[in-house]
A and B are shown apart, each in its own frame.
Chain A
């Protein structure tokens, strides 16, 4: 019994190390294949349209509702201490530092990440990637790299849209619905939000999340078993692994950025 458990643990550890090693190798191969897409930027722009544009609605709507909730919760809490004038600052800092990058990355994993995994997995199952290889075209350069960089570029843009719409949502609830002073809402925000410390750090976070989520989605698609069940499992893995990675990275980055 104990021997079986030790044996299972050893097997799991070995498989984990092999998977991490293989993923790392694939990541560097992907980076190595990337400079060649500079010659064909249209491959990336087409994917930015596909990945970014199609995620826009869910990102904007979610941002608006998160902004609504921040406006309400922020007001109720600040009001207890007579500080409701700081509502704009609270909403803006919450969104630019944390909620913008993190919630965008989680939604991106669910919307674009699953789509990327399923697309690559089905291309593999339909022998499209093998056909490409047999035509002496490297799928890593032609298919994976453009999608990867499109994800990396789209993520901070989507996070910025999420934060901007969220601030507008907070403004609607706080100023227009509850009646917080409009001048105080915007001036406190302007005075309290630092371009480098808050906004730039938020952008850095979303770029890091873009790398992580897009790579996980593409890797899972590429390594999926070429069967309907295999693609389904890979899609689920993308959401689970990408979400946990985003939360873990967020903690790490926050600790580094804000001491």
Chain B
């Protein structure tokens, strides 16, 4: 099976508000796939559906041949052991040190000796350049460093699938470059598959093998980063070249200014 994750005809809505409709996506093994789109386009929802945190109204998500079923807790937890997820703000456990955060999944899911756990944790922290910050608490490190610790924690069990939720949000250009480089290097070193949810075009295009563009819950374009750069699709053009107006309107939809001011034909 060439794809680690397959999404077919996925529909999801919050109450009556549709978020995703008729989604079809493939995430090939060993690749970094970026899911891009504006805020509120449903990118993070896709990650939450893949992780089984929420359940779709219809359609299917298959990971390594197994269908994600949020109701079957045992099967879901078994699937999640193959996954690592980097949350937007790291989601580090604030009462634990950097070392203990990375050791957490190892202690929960393995019966390794403390010596072996120590070696593994230090290796993971070495990979993200924070071995010497092992003793610090999350409150004592910067946002960029917290993101890297969360990355070390996400790869602690060498997962097959790593999901990144806005890994570049709020980072300075240096931290952004470091994080992007780490995502690519770790993916290749572990032989895993990465799903990168982001709206940062420059960094995502630099490391992704394939890109999906999402707008209003639908895939509007997909292809390699080069194909996306050359795309004539109005939405992709507006997004990639950061144009203020286009298919995504500047103004929130609703009444016109003339109607609100009771002027002219707005009356």
Contact = CB atoms under 8 A, between A and B. Distances in A.
Partners in one complex: yes
Interface of A: 126-128, 130-131, 133-138, 142
Interface of B: 51, 53, 77-78, 80-81, 83, 85, 87-89, 91-94, 104-105, 108-109, 150, 153
A135 B108 CA distance: 9
Contact of A135 (B92, B94, B105): B105
A140 to B, nearest CB: 11
Contact of A131 (B78, B81, B87): B87
Contact of A130 (B81, B83, B87, B94): B87
8 contacts: A131-B85, A131-B93, A134-B53, A134-B83, A134-B85, A135-B104, A136-B108, A137-B105
B230 to A, nearest CB: 36
B89 A126 contact: yes
A130 B53 CA distance: 8
A178 to B, nearest CB: 48
A134 B80 contact: yes
Contacts of A142: 108
A136 B105 CA distance: 9
A137 B85 CA distance: 13
A125 to B, nearest CB: 10
Contacts of A134: 51, 53, 80, 83, 85
Nearest to A137: B108
Given A127-B87, A142-B108, A135 B80 contact: yes
Given A135-B104, A135-B105, A142-B108, A126 B81 contact: no
A119 to B, nearest CB: 9
A239 B202 CA distance: 50
